[in-house]
Amino acid sequence: MSNSIEGKVVVITGASSGLGEATARMLATQGAAVVLGARRAERIQALAAELVAAGGKAIAVTTDVTDAAQVQRLVDRAIEVHGQVDVLINNAGLMPQSLLERLKIEDWDRTIDVNIKGVLYGIAAVLPHMQQRKSGQIINVSSVAGHKVRAGGAVYAATKHAVRVISEGLRQEVKPYNIRTTVISPGAVDTELPDSATEADVRENMRKYYADVAIPADAFARAVVFAMQQPEDVDINEILFRPTRQEY
């Protein structure tokens, strides 16, 4: 298969670490121009500088995905610099799990704002541009938790189920515009996601589990590459993967 990644402009949210960082690195080495969005400005600026120093194309735009205007600014900057956006990867996410009886309402609100609204804001920012071009690909990040739920993960699983539902609705709506849609659902991948848990016991248990089971973040990046490299008439709509050792 030819490298259909070279020359593409890819906007990535949550690019300061984990899945987003690994994907940015892999795509940049394959010739994509990556536009990095995240709240931690220093991290994405350092990553962009590193990628450019290695011969890649990268810019960083400080972005909080809970603010629609900031997400729009991220996409607008990509278009200003590169003239287009070929791929949007809605990757930013939180996983502050806890039993519902602990009433972590602030956590619930944050999770919904980032995991659902952040995805919608990304779609809103890029969709008119892709419709006008009649070309593009939107990759939304769900989770194994978007396919099943367990005690302590109700709100997180609900947001990741929502990502899959939004992605399927989007898939049907964009057919007239030749836009491809992909939802990727990872299992335990080595990222900072367990650190987003605000309950100390939950965070410690998640860290131990990830230390035992998680696979490197470039496993996700390879899934992104697979979806992007398909011919234009092939639309990979959903990828679900786990570590081989993961039971859940």
CATH of the domain at 144: 3.40.50.720
What three-state secondary structure class fits 183? strand
pLDDT tens by residue, 167-216 = 999 999 999 999 999 999 999 999 887 777 788 888 888 888 888 999 99
- How far apart, in whole angstroms, are the C-alpha atoms of residue 195 and residue 224? 24
What pLDDT, on a 0 to 100 scale, did the predictor assign at position 3? 60
Is the separation of the CB atoms in 198 and 111 below 8 Å?
no
Concatenated DSSP letters of 154-176: HHHHHHHHHHHHHHHHHHHHTGG
Q: Which residue has the tokens 């570590």?
A: 243
Residue 191 belongs to a domain: yes
Q: Which residue has the tokens 């400080």?
A: 62
Q: Region 84-110: what's the mean pLDDT?
A: 95
Between 48 and 209, residue with greater pLDDT = 48
Residue 236 belongs to a domain: no
Number of H helices, E strands in the chain: 8, 7
What pLDDT, on a 0 to 100 scale, did the predictor assign at position 203? 81
- Domain limits for position 100: 9-231
What pLDDT, on a 0 to 100 scale, did the predictor assign at position 131? 98
Residue 4 belongs to a domain: no
pLDDT tens by residue, 133-148 = 999 999 999 999 999 9
What pLDDT, on a 0 to 100 scale, did the predictor assign at position 49? 98
Residue 208 belongs to a domain: yes
Burial class (CB in 10 A: 0-12, 13-18, 19+), 217: buried
Q: Which residues contact 69 (CB under 8 A, 6 or more apart)?
A: none
- How far apart, in whole angstroms, are the C-alpha atoms of residue 20 and residue 22? 6
Residues in the chain: 248
Residue 98 belongs to a domain: yes
Residue 179 belongs to a domain: yes
Other beta carbons within 10 Å of 55: 9
pLDDT tens by residue, 6-42 = 999 999 999 999 999 999 999 999 999 999 999 999 9
Residue 3 belongs to a domain: no
pLDDT higher than 80, residue 45: yes
What pLDDT, on a 0 to 100 scale, did the predictor assign at position 1? 39
pLDDT higher than 60, residue 2: no
Count of structural domains, the chain: 1
Entry pTM: 0.95
Q: Which residues are catalytic?
A: 156
Is the separation of the CB atoms in 133 and 75 below 8 Å?
no
Q: Which of 37, 22, 175, 39 is nearest to 110 (CA)?
A: 39
pLDDT higher than 70, residue 153: yes
Percentage of the chain modeled with pLDDT above 70: 99
Residue 130 belongs to a domain: yes
